[in-house]
Structure 1
Amino acid sequence: MDQKAPVTAGQKATQPRRTHRKSRLGCVSCKQRRVKCDEAGPPCGQCRTRSMKCEYASSKRSQPLPRTLPTPATGVSHSIGGAPSEVRYTSPVNTTPRLPSVSTKRLELELMHQWCTVSYKSICGNIESHYNVWQNVVPQAGLKYDYLLNGIFAFSALEIAAFAEDQTGSKEYINRAMEYQNLAITQFRSEIVNASSDQHQALCLMSSILIALGLGMARFQAEYTNTVDTMILLFELISGGGAILMSKADALQNDPVFKDLTPWEGLTAQDMSPIVRSAMDRLVQLNDSRHGTTSSTPRESVLQAISHHTTCRKAIFYLEECFTRCIGPETRGYMLGWMNMVGREFIQAIEQKEVVALVVMMHYGALMEQQSYDLWWIQDVGRHLVNELITELDHEDDENVKAAIAWARENSVPVRPK
């Protein structure tokens, strides 16, 4: 086997010297010991190994050097003293996550605490059998669906405002509630269009929260917002919730949250009090007299009268049902479904300020107020509704209308069950 020839002294002299990068930014300890510093400190590798104090002469080196330096001009990160690395440099705006401000995080923590300790009871009317759903199931679903989480924040903020002693603080929470409500509604509408099959529970829960929010907001906006208009908007919201229930009926039958809910047909009807019975009979008589026809009535007017009569009679019928089925703590929430039962034709009659429709709506406002005794988000809404409708009907000379106004004014007060 061939062997390499020995290197002579002359040959050794002609070999190139190995390059060496002199450390000029090394730590003080390495310089004193005259050893190479890796400049990775403080502490550097040498000081770390020997557990020595590591200091740099320049104040600019108070922090460790990064392993790579971004070079925006070329779009590539270069390693210190080496070849370009494969890490791409884009922009700090894109690489740094945008986190909510501390004040926002504290607010949302406060709002979630409010929900889990107080608001969950407020929204279900202190019915203990519903506590687990609203205290546990709803927040858990809110962690999955943003619209439900923002609905929780909106209702909690509104409740804090409702009981705030400081008016300035109350307005701040109302503003926050409106912001979260608007965001929740936008997200909710977007999700409804492309809702997956497993969202039936969250969508239905959100519908309930939005109804409570709509009524709760009406309490604070009564001074500069028409309550009748609010109820019309609420009709659209409740109709949307009803459509969700219908479309998800099969899934809801097996859902642990909704499967035990009693359907409307299963609610026990109680005897109607003589006072209420008299009021309902008066509404029927008013509807018959206002929308009655004779042989001389023009054909176009006959068709319109029949349409109005049918629409208002339907609304009166379901109002009678509400006065008998929805007057207890466990069932009063069902009265909100009246807005969906009456149909769009009745809402159009309200918008047209048809007299009988307004009088029927007034009686519904009285029912709402009667059943609001410990639901802050409904309290005063029915009373405001009655007062606004009285203003609309003050010019009427019909004795039935005057008697209906007097009844609604007298009975639009909370009535706590004995």
Structure 2
Amino acid sequence: MQKRRSHKKSRNGCQNCKKWHTKCDEQGPPCNNCTLRKAKCVYNHPKAEALSNNNSLTIRPRNRDTTISPISVERPRGDVGAICAAYGGPSRLLELELMHQWSTVTYKAFCGIPEDVPYLQGLLPRTALEYDFMLNCIMAISSLHIAHTAGETNSAKYVNAGLEYYNRGSSSFRTYLGKMNAENAHVLYMFSAIATAVHLSIPKCASTLDLLVVALDLVNGSTSIGMMAMPWLLNSALPLRLFISRMGASKDLIDVDSRAALARLRAINDLRHGATVEPVSDGGETDGVIEIRDHELYEMAINGLETCYAEEARGLLRGFCTAFPGLAGKPFTSLISKSDPFALLIVLHWAVLLGGLDQTIWWGARIAEKLALEVSDLLKMSHPDLSLEWADAMVWVHDRMGLSWSQVRELSYSSGLSSDSWEEPTLTQESESFLI
């Protein structure tokens, strides 16, 4: 009788990883896969406390500037080959499919100007052959893109593969980040930019707002990398110099209805924060951070939002509204994480732009409706008085997005802000140095 071969597969993984057919790191609960998906992690047998290994993607400034906090994002462990074997088919065929997906469809989601096409479609994937972190990043976002359009039966395979590719890429990315130079700066920048799309594309049990907070931190991290590597980026194959030269759309291009909505936000800011003396808390930053008073902080965010509305109205820089978090600034992101009501109201107006994105920018457009509904519900439940006071603004957002707002429509209210008193201040240049 032939002797049965022993296997090396562990039977100690969590229940979710078994259900997803993905390799569990067995370091939970929660394991990294469940952490990334915000899922409840349950083991059939009690697990020992996780080892103190580094399972996160950390973006640190090259110059060790203590005013820029590192960005940590939990990531899973696993093996793509095992995933492919679980669903049938070798990993090489999957990788061929994913590279074809990138070069024919997925790259379009990151094209802001026509000159981006040859760079993203040809040069970046060719360069990625020399940088494994970028190659894995391309595989990850392409796999998640297929999962976005695939049926329920097939989507799990691509989601799991996307997680594993991203896991591989993030490990290598950390190593290269400390060795940034003129040759690899544009590749590192593109990885950090696409990482935001990866996180917004992964199906999770967490709220859309929680998912957004993580993505906003990644946007700020990408902005930091861009600013540190700016001299290299401007002279790299990435057509960033052309992109910057085409910025500067006039606010006069914004439709009258949207301009009135932005003026309403400014009126609310003046009413609530115009007499502010104390600087806003930005989440515990220490020495070296310039204090920004809350009226100025909100005004900067509204100015950034106005810039996005203007650029989207002109249509020269495709998907420019995804740059809003960088325009608004890191302290504003901190306010969103704390569910600050006025910051959420501003985000609600950003959701209008996300909802109007070209459907090829699927990773941004897919969260718009859920974000608007979740923020609206949070304001109504946690700040009922303010939701009545701001009903005009909230109803406007829902009307623009084609969402129902019957409960608010039935309410009788008076906001105390006459449209005659709204002013449209001149757009300042505070955000001109931001580079997507």
Whether TM exceeds 0.5 here: the answer is yes
- The 5-angstrom pairing of residues 92-111 of structure 1 reads 103-111=90-98
Q: Matches of 1:323 and 1:385 in 2, distance apart? A: 18
Q: CA 1:406–1:338 in 2, change beyond 3 Å: closer, same or farther?
A: same
Identify the match of residue 238 of structure 1 among 190, 194, 219.
Answer: 219
Q: Does 1:175 align with 2:160?
A: yes
Match of 1:225 among 206, 209, 226: 206
Q: Which runs of 5+ in 2 are unaligned?
A: 1-79, 83-88, 282-291, 404-436
Inter-partner Cα distance in structure 1 for 2:233 and 2:116: 16
Displacement of 1:203 in angstroms is 1.2
The structure-2 alpha-carbon separation of the partners of 1:268 and 1:396, relative to structure 1 and needing over 3 Å to count, comes to: same
CA distance in 1, matches of 2:311, 2:320: 8
Once the two structures are superposed, what CA deviation does each residue of 1:193-228 show, in whole Å capped at 9, x if it has no partner?
Answer: 2224311121122223223223333xx33xx22222
Distance, in Å, in 2 between the alignment partners of 1:120 and 1:391 is 35
Deviations 1:349-398 (A, max 9, x none): 22222221110111111111112444222223121111111011114234
Unaligned ranges ≥5, structure 1: 1-98
Q: 1:288 aligns with which of 229, 248, 270?
A: 270
Taking a change above 3 Å as real, the CA distance of residues 271 and 250 of structure 1, as seen in their structure-2 partners, is: same
Specify the alignment match of 2:198 in structure 1.
213
Q: Is contact 1:146–1:187 with CA below 8 Å preserved after alignment? A: yes
Distance change >3 Å, CA 264–CA 340, structure 1 → 2 = farther
Contact 2:304–2:324 under 8 Å retained in 1: yes
User: Is 1:396 the counterpart of 2:375 in the alignment?
Assistant: no
What residue in structure 2 maps to residue 272 of structure 1? 254
AA at the equivalent of 2:384 = E
The partner residue of 1:157 within 117, 134, 143 is: 143
Question: Residue in 2 aligned with 1:363?
Answer: 349
Q: Residue by residue, what CA displacement relative to the aligned partner does 1:141-166 show, whole Å, maximum 9, x if unpaired?
A: 1100011000110111111111113x
Note if contact 1:112-1:152 (Cα within 8 Å) is conserved in structure 2. yes
Shift of 1:402: 1.1
1:322 matches 2:275: no
For 1:118, give the aligned amino acid.
V
For each residue in 1:311-368, what CA deviation from the matched residue of structure 2 results, as whole angstroms up to 9, or x when unmatched? 1111111111111123455413332222012122212222222221110111111111
Letter in 2 for 1:384: K
Q: State the identity %.
A: 29
User: Could you tell me how far apart the structure 2 residues matched to 1:114 and 1:304 are?
Assistant: 45
The one of 91, 94, 101 equivalent to 1:114 is 101
1:197 paired with 2:179, answer no
* Cα drift, residue 254 of structure 1: 2.0
Aligned to 1:82: none
Supply the distance in 2 between the matched residues of 1:279 and 1:117 (Cα, whole angstroms): 38
Q: Give the aligned partner of residue 339 of structure 1.
A: 325
In the alignment, which of 122, 146, 159 is matched to residue 136 of structure 1?
122
Q: TM-score, normalised by structure 1?
A: 0.66
Task: Tell me: higher relative CO, structure 1 or 2? Use CA pairs within 8 A at least 6 residues apart.
Answer: 2
SS across alignment from 2:90: helix
Deviates more, 1:167-176 or 1:256-265: 256-265
One-letter amino acid of the structure 2 residue matched with residue 401 of structure 1: W
SS at match of 2:184: helix
1:165-215 deviation digits (Å, cap 9, x = unpaired)? 3x1211211111122123222322332122243111211222232232233
Counterpart contact for 2:217–2:333, Cα < 8 Å:
no
Report the aligned-residue RMSD: 2.7
The question of whether the paired residues in 1 share the 8 Å contact of 2:352 and 2:397 is answered with yes
Residues 122 and 336 (structure 1 numbering): CA distance in 2 closer, same or farther, change over 3 Å? Answer: closer
Distance in 1 between the 2:393 and 2:310 partners?
19
Output the amino acid matched with 1:283.
Answer: L
SS of alignment partner, residue 212 of structure 2: helix
User: Hey, what's the Cα distance between the residues in 2 that align with 1:331 and 1:121?
Assistant: 13
The 2-side partners of 1:404 and 1:170 are apart by 38
Q: In the TM superposition, what is the alpha-carbon distance from 1:253 to its structure 2 partner?
A: 2.3
Please tell me whether the aligned partners of residues 290 and 356 of structure 1 are also in contact (alpha carbons under 8 angstroms).
Answer: no
Q: Which has the larger radius of gyration?
A: 1
- 1:144–1:330: structure 2 CA closer, same or farther, 3 Å change rule? farther
Count of aligned residue pairs for this structure pair = 304
